[in-house]
Amino acid sequence: MTTKRTEDQQSLNAIDSIWDGWLNSFKTLQGFQAEIDEKSLQAIDNQKEMLNSTRGILSKIEEEANKKTEELKTSLQNTMNTIEKEQVGSAVSTWMNQIEDINNSVQALSWAPNKAMLDLFSQSQDQFQTSVKEALSQQQQARSEVLETIEKLTEQMKQTQKGLLPSI
């Protein structure tokens, strides 16, 4: 009788071990999926950081270009002031205004599209990040629901097999 009981207990332990092993494998798979989700979000954050860095560099370049333009303007103005002749001064003043207009046009044509493109890319990146986070959240919720259902199913299968064991 004791031998029968020991065999039944070993069979019950074997059933529990099989189902617990299966369930742990399923949980491990879900853990890998969560890691992949996290790595995806990190990649998006890295892209966003690179984009912000690019924006900062472009802003610095623009500031330097404006500073150099002002230095050139000041230098030309000083030169013009040195030449105190009215006709030459008027011509230089007109020439300075034309150079300033050309410089402003060049800057508008070169910086504005870059900024607009960068802003558009930033907005797209933000929308993509929001979409990915939402999708990952939905996937996590679905995985949690599936895990809960599988845990219940595993427990039912254990109980069913334990119930069948004495009848064999």
Cα distance from N-terminal residue to C-terminal residue, the chain: 16
Say if CB 19 and CB 154 are below 8 A apart.
yes
Instruction: Provide the token pair at 19.
Output: 């189902």
Q: What is the pLDDT of residue 6?
A: 74
Q: From CA 167, how far away is CA 163, in angstroms rounded? A: 7
Highest mean pLDDT among 102-116, 130-144, 149-163: 130-144
Ordered by start, the domain boundaries in the chain are 2-167
pLDDT tens figures, 76-132: 777 666 665 555 556 667 777 777 777 777 777 677 777 777 888 888 888 988 999
Q: Answer yes or no: is pLDDT of 18 > 70.
A: yes
Residue of higher predicted confidence among 11 and 153 = 153
Q: What crossing angle do the helices spanning 86-167 and 2-82 adopt, rounded to 10°?
A: 180
Q: With beta carbons less than 8 A apart as the criterion, state whether 118 and 52 touch.
A: no
User: pTM for the full model?
Assistant: 0.62
Of the two residues 166 and 44, the one the predictor is more confident about is: 44
CB 89 within 8 A of CB 83: yes
For the CA atoms of 127, 130, 133, 135, the dihedral, rounded to the nearest 10 degrees, stands at: -70
Q: What is the pLDDT of residues 29-84, one digit of tens each?
A: 899 999 999 998 899 899 889 888 888 888 888 788 778 778 877 877 776 666 65
